[in-house]
Structure 1
Amino acid sequence: MHKRLGEGIHIWLILNMLRFLKDFLIYGLASVIGKIAALLLMPMYTKILTQEEYGIMAMLISVKGILDLASNLNIHSGIARDYYEKGINKTILVSTGFWSILTISISILIIMSLSCNFWVENVLSLHGHELDFILVLLSIPAGSFISYFSILTRFNKQPVKFAIGTIMSLVIQLTVNIYTIAVLHWGITGFFVGTLVGDLFSLIYFYLLNKSLVNLSFDWNYLKRALKYCIPLLPAILAGWVDSSLGQIFIGKSVSYTELGIYSVAVQFASAFTLISMALRNVWAPYLYESYKKPNFQSELDRLFTFFVLLAIFVSCALSLLSNELILIFSNKDYLDACIYLTMLCIPMSFLLLFPIAQSGLSISRNTKFVGIAYIIGSTLNILFLIAFLKKIGVVAVPIGLTISRIVTYFMMYAATRKYSSLHLPNQLLIALILSVLISLVLAYFKSNIILRITFLIIITAFLTVIAIKRLNIINFLKSLVNKAD
């Protein structure tokens, strides 16, 4: 009887994990399609746009990141945290978030528009790109509400509708981009026009899905409760922006926009991690808040962590070992210097992927201030490293500084999670991640023969498969299903 009970619990754990992975794949589908489309359009961008224009586009995208943060104060995360709480009126809660974000985002838009010339000329040194900056500003309110309504769509467990809306928006954006850049020759202006049009479609689509939850109601107590949760996270989000974007701004201001253009190609390929990370973030909060009180949650957490570490190792090695061929296929030989940057970005991007899992205990216990502290310390180390070494060793300082930041942030969050919860993670797997990327970096740096690189990739894949079979208990799961059928 005890044996059958154990088998039943084991099957329940695996099936629950599979349900999680199903939602993960659905939410990630739109991101996958988006990244594939972006890669397919890269030859057009790198052929029509100069390296300097590509760098300026990356600079404006980085600026948009901090403006997006300022326009919503991360209120959507505070609203999402209370969405499943008992005694909460969801309509009043969602409406409170809606009107708060509307007020903040419109205010930011007006203030930044009135001071446009100051930012373009004096801060960013982007003379002649005032229109591009205005287009970035116009997309801010739309982007804030897209984030808000898409979170509600996820919490209402509508992954298919989420994927459909995201994909349709992407198709519209890319169609406009191709027409304005390749046909009308609008340059980077065409890119931001496409972004704005796609955002407007997403805003309308996700609003229609959630309009039943929005009315004229507003509750200050709900807002205060949301702010109490999300304000401590703001330093973490700001530090995250510093890590992901400040390095690019430093390159543009301290080195050149041409070098920034080359580095941005590496970032574009490294965004393969971002699509996995976005899918994980989309499903992790609902999953965590619904599951952490269930029995054997720790076992399920171990399996999920193992799965994502193994996935990060495979993606890191594939990108690193094939970086030369990928860049030649999707851009041209002028961007080959991006190969080393891409390999160096794999470790920090892998650690970023695991952040939601590492901070799980802090999210459950509402000790989110420690997330902010960890991010701030990591980003401070990154900034200090860039200031000290960017001009001495060049662009490679950016991925090195980012690696230092992400590793420090991860282990600080994990240490706090261990302190304020009983959760723990098999972090020894991270050693395999770092070693595999370092070996790949050596092979990429010395431009090893492609046969040698592919052989190493096959060995790594076989190694990961063996670990997956052993640690995820796949064979035992299949045996349990067979025994249950009998």
Structure 2
Amino acid sequence: MLKELGKSIILYGIASGISKSIMLFLIPVYTNVFPPEDYAVIDLIATVTIFIAIMGMLQIESGILRYYFEISENQRSSWISTGFWFISIISILLAFITSLFSNYISTIIFDTGNYSKILTIALFTIPISNIFSYCTVIIRCNKEPISYLLFTSLQLIFTIIISLWLVLARGYGVEGAFWGIMFGFLVPVFFMIIYLLKKSLLKLEISGQALNSLFHYCIPQLPGILGSWANTYANRFVMLSYLTLTEIGIFSVAIKIAGVFKLGEEAFRMSWGPFLFENLKKEGHKQLFGNVLVICTLLVMSLCSICALFTKEIYFFIIASSYNAGIPLTSMLFFALGFNILIQIVLIGPAITKKTIFNSVLGLSSFLVNIILLLLMVPKWGLIGVPLSLLLANLFMFISSWYTTERIYYIGFPIMKVATIITIGLLLLGLTLVFNQVIIIRMLLAIAICILFLVGYKSMKSNILNNL
């Protein structure tokens, strides 16, 4: 069963993560083309559009994923069509309405309306990107890895080629970056719709019964998703009150580099949901989920530690020197985003029991912790307070999610093993920040991490084999 999860992550998750982390691949070019101020503009506009995109999806795709294996095959086309048309209509309406206020939004954020055109371009990318995201979930549920890889690869290739052509060859600057994203989604979405039609999965229908069931599952968790968005992105607006656009741009690049773990989060999310619900009714599933948590915690903490140790070298080879102030920020952000992967495992209680209101309570609580810490730390410590507050907020989210799941659907997660691994990981982060200039010490620490990982994996091996 664990092998199935591993294969699923490789086949579906990594492709999905890469397609949603394109800016990570464009960083080496963009940081040499755009100064930190321009990168801050890209990031702030993206922050607004991600919020609108969440409202356009309303978590309908998670509802489809939740019920897909419960409804009959005859019902699936009706449910899929309902989700498709609902997301399409809502996303288009939200993009159009928000675009009417683009000049006002630009003035609020940047003290000028000069970025209203770029914001409008970004807004009308939302319906296309939401349809793309929804279709990938359907293909994933149908277990068609070749089609999945083909469509996500098309999106990746077209986005990179068009973006680089518009930014470098045509000199469109920041505007070209957003045009590239739009056209990168447009081509694969066209073929995805044809695919769904040929598979008879898409028709002109909206089922009231399906929509009602989806709303009951999805709407209660929407505030939590918005809280998660705010936890990761809303700090930009707090930063605007205390920091310059240059500093925001430096942070934006730092979190994009750490976004390799965002890629991992997306990869795991695409695989974990189907794996969870397919194994839920099987005997021994609680022990299986506990083993998954220990293995993933060991792997995530090890990778975070090694990445943090060599952040300086990452910047040296791929990032312009004007962004070097982001080196310590990136080290902390690796861990902050790494926790998001682990949160998905411990936050299974609400999904299993369909009490998704807990997702909202936990997400909003984590957001409040983040905001309070930001307001306390940023005025006193400056830019370094931003990743530190996010790290602590995500750690809070992890602990509270664990507690909630054990209360509403007891799993019996191995708390001591996981707590020990996390404590060692955070201690290594502290050593990384202290000895950042000494390459020999960092190399020795990296060797020690690899040894600890192998020892930890070996100690878990017998438990793993019992579940294969």
In the superposition, the TM-score normalised over structure 2's length comes to 0.94
Aligned to 1:420: 408
* TM-superposed deviation, 1:302: 2.4
Aligned to 2:302: 314
Deviation per CA, 1:147-197, whole angstroms, max 9, x where unpaired?
211111111112232122111111110001111111111111111111001
Give me the whole-angstrom Cα distance separating, in 2, the residues matched to 1:168 and 1:42: 20
Does residue 81 of structure 1 match 2:70?
Answer: no
Aligned to 1:108: 94
Does residue 163 of structure 1 match 2:163?
Answer: no
Does residue 384 of structure 1 match 2:372?
Answer: yes
- The one-letter code of the counterpart of 2:6 is L
- The one-letter code of the counterpart of 2:376 is A
Aligned to 1:304: 292
Aligned to 1:449: 438
Deviation per CA, 1:388-432, whole angstroms, max 9, x where unpaired?
332221112211221222122222222221122131322332432
Aligned to 1:439: 428
Give me the whole-angstrom Cα distance separating, in 1, the residues matched to 2:266 and 2:361: 22
Give me the whole-angstrom Cα distance separating, in 1, the residues matched to 2:17 and 2:358: 32
Give me the whole-angstrom Cα distance separating, in 2, the residues matched to 1:41 and 1:407: 29
Secondary structure, counterpart of 2:443 in structure 1: helix
Deviation per CA, 1:94-136, whole angstroms, max 9, x where unpaired?
1211221122112112211222211111345353212210111
- Equivalent runs, 1:234-313 vs 2, <5 Å: 234-313=222-301
Give me the whole-angstrom Cα distance separating, in 1, the residues matched to 2:35 and 2:451: 41
CA contact (8 A) 2:95 2:127 kept: yes
* TM-superposed deviation, 1:475: 9.4
Does residue 205 of structure 1 match 2:194?
Answer: no
| 1:454/1:36 CA distance change after superposition, 3 Å | farther
Does residue 29 of structure 1 match 2:14?
Answer: yes
Tell me whether 135-144 or 338-347 shows the greater mean CA deviation: 338-347
Does residue 139 of structure 1 match 2:139?
Answer: no
Aligned to 1:12: none
CA contact (8 A) 1:35 1:272 kept: no
Gaps of 5+ in 1: 1-15, 482-486
Give me the whole-angstrom Cα distance separating, in 2, the residues matched to 1:203 and 1:165: 8
| 1:230/1:190 CA distance change after superposition, 3 Å | same
Secondary structure, counterpart of 2:111 in structure 1: coil
Give me the whole-angstrom Cα distance separating, in 2, the residues matched to 1:461 and 1:200: 43
Give me the whole-angstrom Cα distance separating, in 2, the residues matched to 1:405 and 1:388: 13
User: Which structure has the bigger radius of gyration?
Assistant: 1
Secondary structure, counterpart of 1:128 in structure 2: coil
| 1:37/1:98 CA distance change after superposition, 3 Å | closer
* TM-superposed deviation, 1:70: 1.4
Does residue 60 of structure 1 match 2:45?
Answer: yes
Aligned to 1:220: 208
* TM-superposed deviation, 1:33: 5.2
Query: Percent identity among equivalent residues?
Result: 25
* TM-superposed deviation, 1:37: 6.8
CA contact (8 A) 2:297 2:421 kept: no
CA contact (8 A) 1:75 1:226 kept: yes
Tell me whether 436-445 or 98-107 shows the greater mean CA deviation: 436-445
Give me the whole-angstrom Cα distance separating, in 2, the residues matched to 1:206 and 1:427: 43
Give me the whole-angstrom Cα distance separating, in 2, the residues matched to 1:344 and 1:366: 34
* TM-superposed deviation, 1:254: 3.0
Give me the whole-angstrom Cα distance separating, in 2, the residues matched to 1:42 and 1:406: 25
* TM-superposed deviation, 1:74: 1.5
| 1:249/1:163 CA distance change after superposition, 3 Å | farther
CA contact (8 A) 1:35 1:271 kept: no
Aligned to 2:134: 148
Deviation per CA, 1:307-351, whole angstroms, max 9, x where unpaired?
211221122111110011111111132222211111222332122
- The one-letter code of the counterpart of 1:303 is N
| 1:36/1:84 CA distance change after superposition, 3 Å | closer
Give me the whole-angstrom Cα distance separating, in 2, the residues matched to 1:99 and 1:77: 15
Secondary structure, counterpart of 1:336 in structure 2: helix
2:56 to 68, 71, 74: 71
Give me the whole-angstrom Cα distance separating, in 2, the residues matched to 1:46 and 1:65: 22
- The one-letter code of the counterpart of 2:139 is T
Secondary structure, counterpart of 1:217 in structure 2: coil
| 1:427/1:210 CA distance change after superposition, 3 Å | farther
- The one-letter code of the counterpart of 1:134 is T
Give me the whole-angstrom Cα distance separating, in 2, the residues matched to 1:331 and 1:35: 20
* TM-superposed deviation, 1:48: 1.2
* TM-superposed deviation, 1:451: 1.6
Secondary structure, counterpart of 2:415 in structure 1: coil
* TM-superposed deviation, 1:387: 2.3
Give me the whole-angstrom Cα distance separating, in 2, the residues matched to 1:96 and 1:28: 25
Give me the whole-angstrom Cα distance separating, in 2, the residues matched to 1:54 and 1:321: 25
| 1:150/1:393 CA distance change after superposition, 3 Å | same
Secondary structure, counterpart of 2:125 in structure 1: helix
CA contact (8 A) 2:102 2:120 kept: yes
CA contact (8 A) 2:225 2:360 kept: yes
Gaps of 5+ in 2: none
CA contact (8 A) 1:362 1:417 kept: yes
Give me the whole-angstrom Cα distance separating, in 1, the residues matched to 2:26 and 2:379: 32
Aligned to 2:457: 468
| 1:19/1:191 CA distance change after superposition, 3 Å | same
Deviation per CA, 1:38-88, whole angstroms, max 9, x where unpaired?
555323211111110011111111111101011121222222222121457
| 1:277/1:39 CA distance change after superposition, 3 Å | closer
CA contact (8 A) 2:59 2:218 kept: yes
Please tell me the root mean square deviation across aligned C-alpha atoms, in Å.
2.2
- The one-letter code of the counterpart of 1:473 is S
- The one-letter code of the counterpart of 1:457 is A
| 1:172/1:231 CA distance change after superposition, 3 Å | same
Aligned to 1:128: 114
Give me the whole-angstrom Cα distance separating, in 2, the residues matched to 1:161 and 1:309: 31
Does residue 351 of structure 1 match 2:339?
Answer: yes
Give me the whole-angstrom Cα distance separating, in 2, the residues matched to 1:39 and 1:72: 24
| 1:474/1:367 CA distance change after superposition, 3 Å | closer
CA contact (8 A) 2:21 2:259 kept: no
Deviation per CA, 1:358-390, whole angstroms, max 9, x where unpaired?
111221110111111111111111112222332
| 1:409/1:126 CA distance change after superposition, 3 Å | farther
